[in-house]
Amino acid sequence: MSDKQLAPSQARDRWVDHPQGRIFTRTWQPSGVAHGAPPGSPIVLFHDSLGSVELWRSFPAELSAATGRTVIAYDRLGFGKSDPRSGLPSLHFVGEEATIYFPALREQLGLQTFVACGHSVGGGMAVHCAAENADRCEALVTIAAQVFAEDRTLEGIRAAREQFKDPAQVQRLAKYHGDKARWVLDAWIDNWLSAGFASWTVEAVLPRVTCPALAIHGVNDEYGSVRHAELIGRLVGGPVRIEILQDTGHVPQRERPELVLGLVREFLASVPAR
């Protein structure tokens, strides 16, 4: 399906209240279903380490149009338009997103069932959400997800740390995170490069994912080799499909949007509704 064939999706912003602060969400609903729920569970997007709702760019609207489903993206607390956090996340922040923050979104947005879709570290968070909500998660989609702290990942972060010594680079990030930009950088770099994070992995969580799963990964991903997708394929507890994309880096949904949209659309069309 080409971009010209995609029906437009309508976006609506909403705040979710959490004891630690307000969380910003944006929901896209496919055209033609404004007065009724679209078929299939909503897709919830989990952003990457420097990401936000705005940094998904056109992907959520295109995903909603391509699949005919509601798509929900949110800024994690401390990111984007969400309220700031007073301290850096703990070294267990990937799993804590599923146990501390996502329950508030699920309850206040009325998500009886959902599809978890995460990019980069958001893929690990999507894995945890699928495992913690096995009776509610209809399907799991990971895009360039990390399963463990691989040397390639850490080398990429060290290289980025040098690039962000340029104030202009931090200013670019501030376009999306405002005066929280430095916190966002520290939350990413300090946690991932911490000695205590070296043993982090979601390998033990993957067998608890019993819903159908799709793992998309680029061969040229500078933040993780295809081993991550291969581990998802080997360890996930439900049926799984692995798509390794040639000539693709860390952001397949931006580099190969039509291909990624087609893969997700085809995959979800084959998933039985909850």
For residue 2, what pLDDT is reported? Answer: 36
> In the predicted model, is pLDDT for residue 253 greater than 60?
yes
For residue 28, what pLDDT is reported? Answer: 97
Contact 253, 45 (CB under 8 A): no
How far apart CA 224 and CA 250 sit, in angstroms, is 8
> In the predicted model, is pLDDT for residue 198 greater than 60?
yes
How far apart CA 235 and CA 231 sit, in angstroms, is 6
Average of pLDDT values for 174-182?
A: 97
Lowest mean pLDDT among 24-33, 91-100, 164-173: 24-33
- Mean pLDDT for the chain overall: 94
Selection from 187, 221, 13 nearest residue 97 by Cα: 187
Percent of the chain scoring above 70 in pLDDT: 94
Residue with tokens 């984007």: 80
DSSP state of 26: E
Distance, CA of 254 to chain centre:
14
Average of pLDDT values for 102-111?
A: 98
More confident residue, 135 or 9: 135
Please state which architecture CATH assigns to domain 3-148+201-268.
3-Layer(aba) Sandwich (3.40)
DSSP state of 156: H
Average of pLDDT values for 245-259?
A: 98
Contact 98, 92 (CB under 8 A): no
For residue 177, what pLDDT is reported? Answer: 98
How far apart CA 244 and CA 110 sit, in angstroms, is 34
Average of pLDDT values for 197-224?
A: 98
74 vs 12, 36, 110, CA distance in Å?
Answer: 12, 23, 15
Residue 170 burial (CB < 10 Å; 0-12/13-18/19+)? middle
Task: Name the pairing type of β-strands 9-18 and 21-30.
Answer: antiparallel
For residue 185, what pLDDT is reported? Answer: 97
For residue 37, what pLDDT is reported? Answer: 60
For residue 32, what pLDDT is reported? Answer: 67
> In the predicted model, is pLDDT for residue 1 greater than 50?
no
How far apart CA 109 and CA 100 sit, in angstroms, is 16
